[in-house]
Structures are given as structure tokens and as C-alpha cells.
Homo-oligomer: A and B are copies of this chain.
Amino acid sequence: MKNCQWVLASHAQDEANETTWRLVEGEVPHPGGRQILVRTQWLSVDPYMRGKLNAGAGMQVGDVMQGGGVGEVVESQHPDWKVGEIAEGLDVGWQKYAVLTPDRPGASKVNKVDTGAAPPQAALSWLGMPGLTAYFGMLDVGRPRPGDKVVVSAAAGAVGQLAGQIAKLAGCRVVGIAGSDQKLDWCKAIGFDETINYKKTPDLAAEVGRCCPGGVNVFFDGTGGVIHDAVMKNLAMAARVAIVGRVAVANKAGGDDIGLRASSRLIATRAVVQGFVVYDWWHRREEALQRLANWSMAGSLKFREDIVNGFENVPHAFMRMMRGDNLGKQLVRL
């Protein structure tokens, strides 16, 4: 029994590619005191991981690629964990076997997955970090009111599809922006009122304006870049802008991100723009997961996964997600 790991081979300058990681084999480690060994079943690839590939972002060449995953406990030195239980953690990494430390604080805590409630990979998507991002980003930063016009960029992605549905639950009119008609068909199927294919729309700002008469009250932004600029031109009075991600410009390792300065529009509208990282809300994780589970059981939260099979394909899954070729939350099943 061998361990396999994808380790960082070189920091990325722009897009990650085949030379960014390399596969190494090694011994399966053993857990120390109050640790567990898990055999990875699912790995998550998410846009935030692109930032980790930049030089100076914390990862060294040779390090196991960081990332969340779900696995079965195969060895336990922790009194609260039994072999056969399912664990979810952000510290699994791109490897077949991982030693985890369940008692770590905050977001590094290892969570037990109740496979009776939902499939185990849900802990990596709508019942996990992306779900929490959508929940707190929309409700606590976006602060939607009934009747608000809400724009969600990266609308068919792991976070976007949930953010849009949560805004619908809050009584809003929701416009989704994505880069393929197939993605937007999914958005419509789960209740988005209008959709915009930014790749097919020459004047994106005008189209956002057409979809949001009176302006955009809440902008839940997962992309940044020119999509960001187009929506910022359409803010309503007292709008709230949640800066959740920047997948559209994340491939630039260095240099400045140049585009529209929004000062004029911010003064005119008194809008609030807030940067968001879900871990700041981690202490309210249980509240959010309960709500998300209730909404799902009631049929008002639907979720689409895009599954790639095989540990050897993790980099491929990451790269296709960054290119926007996935349809729904990108996962890898080992």
C-alpha cells in the first residue's frame, strides 16, 4: 500500500498547467497522538486554490498541494474517531492518504460527515465551504431585502448557484452571469429570473442595466475583472457588493489588476463594497449548515456537481474548472 501525492513542481506565473504539479509516491504515514489517517474518497478543487500557486503565497515547491477533501478513517489515534467513519477537512490535500489532526482550531478542524443526511461529497460543496460562502456572503454581506435586484457572477459555479437560490429564498429578483448557455440553462432551472452569457454580450453593462431596472441592489461577485466593472456601473442607491472571488483575473500572478475605478458610482449611490472570506464566519458554521440542509430537504436548494474520476486527474479537474469548462461544482472522485 503506497501513498500518492500531487506536489507543487513550480509556482504558476499565469494559468496553472501540466508542469505546475508532479505526482510522487511514498509510504503511507501513520497517525500520531490524537491524529487519524484517512483514505481520500473525494477532493475538491476551488478557485481560491489558484492563489496558493503564486510564489510567496506560502506553498513551497515539493509541498503537497493544499485542498479540502473527504475520506474514510482507516486508522485512529483519537478517542473520538473510529475506523470507518467519514472525515471532511480542509487539510486533506491532494493525496490518497492523509494524516489529520481533528483538534485543530477554526477552519482546520476535521468534521464528521453524516452520510445518512447527504452524499459524502456534499461536505465539500453545498454542505461545506462553498455552501457557507454562499450563505454568509449573500445574507451577511449582501443583506438582500425582498424585491431587491441581485446579480450573481460565476452563477453556475459551486458558490454562485447557491448564492442565487438563497437570494430567491429572500424574495429577490436574481440575475445570473456565466460563460455558457448550458450553465445558464441550469441557473434558469433552479430559479434565476434572468441570465446573461457574458461571452455573447457585446455591451455587458447595458445588458445588466436592462435586466435590473432601477439598478443592482446586491452584487455577489465571484469573478472580478470586466464582469465586475459592468455590474459596478449599474449599482442602485445603497447597494451592497460582496467581493467573494476573482476567478476571471486570478491567473495573473503579479502586477496590478487594472480596470474601472468605481469611486464616482460609489459616492453617487452610497454603495458599500466588502471583501469576504468565509472563514471569518466559521464560528456560525452550524447555523448555516442547518439552514442549508433544511432548504435542501424542502426542495428549495438544488445543486449540480461536475465529477472527474481518478486521482491522476486532479490537476486536470482544477485546470478545467479555472477555464470555466465545468458545469456545477467541480469534484474529483478517487
Residues of A participating in the B interface, judged by any CB pair closer than 8 Å: 221, 224-225, 228-229, 243-246, 249, 256-261, 263-277, 280
Contacts and interface: CB of A to CB of B under 8 A. Distances in A.
Contact of A246 (B221, B245, B263, B271): B263
A90 B246 CA distance: 42
A257 B266 contact: no
26 contacts: A221-B263, A228-B261, A228-B263, A229-B261, A246-B263, A246-B267, A249-B261, A249-B263, A249-B264, A256-B260, A257-B261, A257-B263, A258-B261, A259-B259, A259-B261, A260-B261, A261-B261, A263-B275, A267-B276, A269-B275, A270-B274, A271-B274, A272-B272, A272-B274, A272-B275, A273-B273
B277 A273 contact: no
A183 to B, nearest CB: 22
A272 B273 contact: yes
Nearest to A268: B275
Count of identical protomers in the assembly: 2
A229 B274 CA distance: 17
Max chain B Cβ within 10 angstroms of own Cβ: one of A229, A249, A271, A273:
A273
Query: Does more than half of chain A's interface fall in helix, strand or loop, or is it mixed?
Result: mixed
Given A245-B267, A273-B274, 19 more contacts: A221-B263, A224-B261, A225-B261, A229-B261, A244-B267, A246-B267, A249-B261, A249-B264, A257-B260, A258-B260, A258-B261, A260-B261, A266-B273, A267-B276, A270-B277, A270-B280, A271-B275, A272-B272, A272-B274
A266 to B, nearest CB: 3
A260 B249 CA distance: 13
B273 A267 contact: no
A236 to B, nearest CB: 12
Contacts of A271: 274-275
A264 to B, nearest CB: 6
A261 B275 CA distance: 12
Contacts of A244: 267
A221 B266 CA distance: 12
